[in-house]
Each structure stands twice: as structure tokens, then as C-alpha cells.
Structure 1
């Protein structure tokens, strides 16, 4: 994700993951390359385990520490991701969404390594938006962090726990939406990209998403998070911690009340949702997908 030597690019340049012909050929078509499909919305082949919060007064960003794993992905065209959503608009029509986190997506990247990613859309994934830098939209400024680059090390069951801290926030002066990894700003989405998000967000979410193409008419065995259910707890289940939102004054505040979306609780779930001195608001989530209870 960062240059191995710790060096940065020359002035006026940024690191860009090279897109190869093989990357494009793995996609269904050139049109589909680097895009989520409109069926990403809940109930259409995508499984979610997400905590979210809404505000009619507006939300200006979100932050969390996201536990980092290398989930198994079963089939071509499937992925497993853990991310933050910052959204406004209606889910099925004019949804504006800014997204960032980590994902394992072999069809896009050609391997099973977790990678830092960004995404945006302003029409509910229909015609606008893309991953990373694969279309005009996201503007990278960081000279060391590669958008779409692999992240390491990753967590191991019962061993080292790795995480990445993601912050998305709206610049109150220029009104662009920024994303940071740790304390390093990576880049921004110009506010002009959006209609509903041009001013503020109305909902933010934290959690996991898996594509379930139901090969052979059975649920995918693609992992969400670590592949362990939430009740397995620390050291096995994946987590989000220190959930925060950004207010109009660009201040971070701990999330006290959230709601949950769990589309297939026998396949993937969220549990042990609470507040802790060091972890703030947190939750465990994930699962293995296909099983006798998730056929």
C-alpha cells in the first residue's frame, strides 16, 4: 500500500496502480470494469452486515478503525469488503454514496490480497462512479499511499490483530469530501460530482458486504471479515471500533445510537455491539457464508 522503501513520488505526481489488459479481461465487459452494478442494493445478490446511523440535521463524515483480514472469496465476480458508507438520497433512485475501506476482489485485482479502495456514485450505482482512479472523479493527492494497493500485514486468528483507520470528511471551506488513512489524507471527491451529497450526508454506515452469485444454486462460501461469526469475539471475529461521525464544525463525535442491517443472519451477522473505554462504540461482524444453516 505504501512504497516499500518509504519514499514518495516526485513533485506533481502520485502513485497509481497500473491497470493491465488482464485486469480488464477479467471483467464482464469494458463498461463494467471498475464499477459496482445497480444490483448492489440490498436484496439483490449482495449480503450486508452493517451498522448505520441517520440524521436529518446532516452528517459531514465518519471514522472507524477497521480490522484487517484476508477473507476467502469463492467465485469469479464475487468480492468481500469492509468499509464506511457516507450517503444521501434515495436507495433505489438517486443515491449518492462515498465509500472507502478494504476489499478482496480477485476479478478486479487478480489476486486475493486485501486492498485499500475508494468508490463513489451519484445515481444508485446505475451509470456513474467507479472504484479508485478508474474514471474521472476521485482526486488523489498523497504521494505514498496507492489507491487500490495491497495492505499488509493482516490479522491472524488468535494472533496479531491488524487494522486500518479510515476517515471520510467534508472540507468546510472548499466543500470537497476527503478520505484519510490513519492521519494521512489520500485524496478527495469534488463536491461538484454530487447532487444529494453536495451539501451534507444523511446516513453513514460501517460494516461488511459480500457478493453472493449463488453458483450451482447454493449460497456462496465467501467469507465476510475473518470468516467467523460475530459471537466468536476478539481474536477471531472481525471488528469495527471507535465509530465516530463528523459534525458541521468538522468535529468528531462518538456514535451513541445505531441501527443494524443484517440481510442473511445465518450466513453473516453482527453481535456484541456496545461501548468501551478504549474502543468507543464498536461491534463484531462476519461469517463463513454457506453452511447447513446457510444453504
Structure 2
């Protein structure tokens, strides 16, 4: 499998480092039967126990502000069970034995290093890798509920990454349905990274991601379907001054909500910039070879109301200038047109209204 396909695929190596320090819990929020968030002192959050962050000073807010064209459609990440931590505290997921064990299971049994073939992984998306280096990207993507079994995953995400010799770094965030990990069949937001020495982490299972917001979380369930469309406007942008990689919810109205960041110290290849950026839908098949649905579970059409879709891609170039997707050369990545599809959007009035539609039903004959 081509390196770009491998990077775009949802693959990672998780190691679990649990802090032995007792952290005082101010307040807790239960998102489902298995997932609990605790409000803890921002300066005592477990991520700061990472050995590479020994002398790290928390960056309370980014130095940049991306000027953006307002999205014409709303987006929403927050669950109805919203989190409201007190000033000076941040929400940190409680790493129960079951949650950690489920993450380890998926890392060891269903995901592979980018140096080997990722069996059962299929993707449909776009990538830019010839006009870098890059300092980030942001986009709007529709969010969907899917019928995914406990031994499958379906997701959509943005990512930044680079490879140098045998070293690989990447950051990926978006939404996914993963019943085995979360303990339910809802759609959740997520974030993963892989950095120096091959270390990596899903969400905040191990130290690394620094939480800054007291209300917005990296991984939480989306509200159940309503009359309005559900969508996520998400970003990964490197701060020019600190080098940290920030993620935020881009809001339809009002200021963007910065969640937190992956510190520069975690990386040895994308500490300065990234060589590729992309947006992709993807799936991980069950051990039996049955592939789950992707996107909204249907093959894409040019009628965006019937399809899973990605819009308003913006890329931060080597000079930290924000460019619209149509200004950047994008390659299509799709590895199985039998089960999944991708249709590029059309330029309308010098802007891309619809970057691409994608998805498919999956099934028994999608291959590995």
C-alpha cells in the first residue's frame, strides 16, 4: 500500500503510561456507561507527566487567529451532556481499565505500523504532498451514525504528517464510530498522534495532548440526530511562535473554540512543519473480513444532500498563509472503488462549495 494511503488510514501504535500521582478531582461528568471525564487542575493534568514534557510550559492560547470565510452550514461537536469545569481546571478522561484495555486491543489486533500492510483498512479522501511544507489545515465535514459492529471502525478525519527514513510522525482528528472502544454505537470525536521514538496515543489514554479548554473536549459523543444537519468543523494548525499543534472547533457563530494542543516536544519529524496534509474517510474491517459502511453508508452522488461530504478545505502553507482548497494541488486517494466511492466537487464562483462526496456500504467482498 502506498505510503500516503497508509498515512491516511487510521493506523497508530499506542503505549499506555498512567500517572501514579494522585490528582484531586473537582467535578466529574459521565458521558456514557463507560466514559467519565474529571475536572482536574490544569497544571496537574496527566499529559504533563510525559518524559518529553518535563520542562514544558502550558501555552494557554495560540498566537494565531485564522481569518476564515464563515461556513454556510452549522457544525456541532458538543454532546447534550455538556461539560463545564471550573476556572483553573480542565476535563480529562478517566482511564478505566476497560477503556485502556479496549484501546490496547485495537492497537495490537487491528492496526499495524505504517511499514507493513494495513489489513482490512480502506480509505477515500484527498491529500496534498507536493507543495509543502505545511503548517496545518481546517475543513467542514458531515457527521453520520452508522451500523458498525464491535470488531469494526468507521471514521472521517483530517491529518498532518511526515516521514523521514524509518521515522514517522502524524496527527489525526475527526469523528468515528468504534463500539469496542467507547462501549456504544454512537459517533464520537477523536484525536491520535504518533511522534518521537515511535510513541503514540489515542485521545488522552496516555500523556501527550495538553487540554486547555474547560468545556470543549478532544473526544466526546455527538448529539443524536435532529432535524438539522450534524457536522464538524475541525482544524490542526501549528503555532508559529511555539511550534505546538493546536486543534479547535470552528464555530458557525462566535469565536472558534480551542480545545488544546499536541506539544512540539512530542515530535521529531513534524516539530517544524509537515510534508503532507489530507482529509479522508476510512474503515477498519472485522477479522472475518467484513468491511463496515463509510461516510453515510451510501456510495456518493453529485447531490450532496444524499452523500457524506467534505467542504471548505483551507490549508496553512509554508509561510503560514491560509489558502483555500482550490488553490492547492490535491490528489484523490481511494483504494477500493467496489465498496466505496469518492466524487470531487465542482468549483463555483472561484471557490469550492463541495470539496468531495464519499462513502459506501462496505460488505463481505471488499478485500484486504
TM-score above 0.5: yes
1:185-224 correspondence to structure 2 within 5 Å: 185-215=258-288, 218-220=289-291, 222-224=292-294
Query: What is aligned with 1:227?
Result: 297
Paired residues, what number? 283
Query: What is aligned with 2:65?
Result: none
1:31-50 correspondence to structure 2 within 5 Å: 32=108, 36-38=111-113, 43-50=118-125
Query: What is aligned with 2:130?
Result: 55
Answer whether contact 2:83 2:216 (CA < 8 A) is retained: no
Which of 128, 131, 145 lines up with 1:70 in the alignment?
145
Answer whether contact 2:134 2:274 (CA < 8 A) is retained: yes
Query: What is aligned with 1:85?
Result: 159
Are 2:343 and 1:268 aligned? no
Cα distance between partner residues in 2 of 1:93 and 1:73:
34
Give SS of 2:355's match.
Answer: strand
Give SS of 2:214's match.
Answer: coil
Higher strand share goes to which structure?
1
| Structure (1 or 2) with the larger CA radius of gyration | 2
- CA shift in 2, pair 1:198/1:38, >3 Å: same
Are 2:94 and 1:21 aligned? no
Query: What is aligned with 1:181?
Result: 249
Deviates further, 4-13 or 50-59: 4-13
Unaligned runs of 5+ in 1: none
Q: 1:5 Cα deviation (Å)?
A: 7.0
Answer whether contact 2:132 2:317 (CA < 8 A) is retained: no
Answer whether contact 2:92 2:211 (CA < 8 A) is retained: no
Query: What is aligned with 1:287?
Result: 360
Cα distance between partner residues in 1 of 2:285 and 2:83:
39
Q: 1:24 Cα deviation (Å)?
A: 3.6
Q: 1:280 Cα deviation (Å)?
A: 3.9
Unaligned runs of 5+ in 2: 1-76, 251-255
Answer whether contact 2:246 2:262 (CA < 8 A) is retained: yes
Cα distance between partner residues in 2 of 1:287 and 1:7:
34
| TM-score calculated relative to the size of structure 1 | 0.85
Answer whether contact 2:79 2:221 (CA < 8 A) is retained: no
Q: 1:59 Cα deviation (Å)?
A: 0.7
Cα distance between partner residues in 1 of 2:241 and 2:338:
46
Give SS of 1:108's match.
Answer: helix
- CA shift in 2, pair 1:164/1:279, >3 Å: farther
Q: 1:87 Cα deviation (Å)?
A: 0.8
Cα distance between partner residues in 1 of 2:358 and 2:208:
31
Query: What is aligned with 1:135?
Result: 206
The CA deviation string for residues 237-284 of structure 1, in whole angstroms up to 9 with x for no partner, is 100100110124433211222101111111111014332357545100
Query: What is the alpha-carbon root mean square deviation over aligned residues?
Result: 2.8
Q: 1:95 Cα deviation (Å)?
A: 2.0
Which of 242, 251, 258 lines up with 2:321 in the alignment?
251
Higher helix share goes to which structure?
2
- CA shift in 2, pair 1:223/1:7, >3 Å: closer
Query: What is aligned with 2:8?
Result: none
Q: 1:152 Cα deviation (Å)?
A: 1.9
